[in-house]
Amino acid sequence: MTSRTDHSPPGTQPSLWRHRDFRRYLTGQAAGVTGSSISAMVIPVLAVLELDATTAEVAWLTLLGQLPPALLALHAGALADRHSKRKQMIIGDLVSATALAGVPVAAALDRLCLAQLMVVAAVQGAAGVLHDAAAISILPSLVDRSLIQRSNSRIGGLFAVAATAGSNLGAALTALLGPARALVGDVISYLISAWCTSRIQAPDSPRGAAAGRRLHTEIGEGLRYVHHDHRLRTLTLVNATTSAALALLNTLWALYLLVPA
């Protein structure tokens, strides 16, 4: 019997919280969102206050963090379809944790430079989209089909709280420990996420690549499928517009609040 099996009394709606794998998934993802909010707030502060970054340098730092998701999202989704989603999520978390862990170490050794922050931003962005693509597609294997809508609503609500809590925690850690040491909180969050994901026991059966089919062929088929479904097409456009607006906002707050005129 898998962890998706529910033991609610007859005639009652099954409870999401009876799904052990869903609880582990939700805990890990909430930890990751909290940590990502910490680094999103701390890295620009670190660049400006500790490394005297200029307006252009802060803009490049933000761009390098946003570019990998834009370029790699389709490939990450196709890879999640071909390979183990759990492994892809764990690899993404561990790569992000490793990249971020080097920042406080370099700062302690007085070796931190803006180039390292830019590399960290790019690596974290690439690892994040690798993780997120698998995290989205693994959910239907964790809960019964009848609970998908409810589980998505729980995830959305918790993630909104986690993002706000992460920003506040990042500000508190920066005030208490300094911006470089504050990133240790994000490192810990990625390790928690990887550990929770490794504890998920639901079957993870990747589809695998069909003989002779290349990755870009599957990506093209996916794009055509989304284009011909008006609901998916609308959702994709809304999400892309919202993400672009949030990326612009994150760039502007760093520029206007931190960089001297």
Residue 27, SS3? helix
> What pLDDT does 14 receive?
59
> What distance in Å separates the CA atoms of residue 58 and residue 51, rounded to the nearest whole number?
11
Predicted TM-score (pTM) of the model is 0.79
CA angle 218, 67, 226 (to 5 degrees): 35
> What pLDDT does 126 receive?
92
> What distance in Å separates the CA atoms of residue 81 and residue 134, rounded to the nearest whole number?
8
Does CATH number 2.170.130.10 belong to domain 20-202+215-258? Answer: no
What are 74-93's pLDDT values in tens digits? 777 778 877 889 999 999 99
> What pLDDT does 97 receive?
96
What are 247-261's pLDDT values in tens digits? 667 666 666 666 555
What are 121-146's pLDDT values in tens digits? 999 999 999 999 888 888 888 877 77
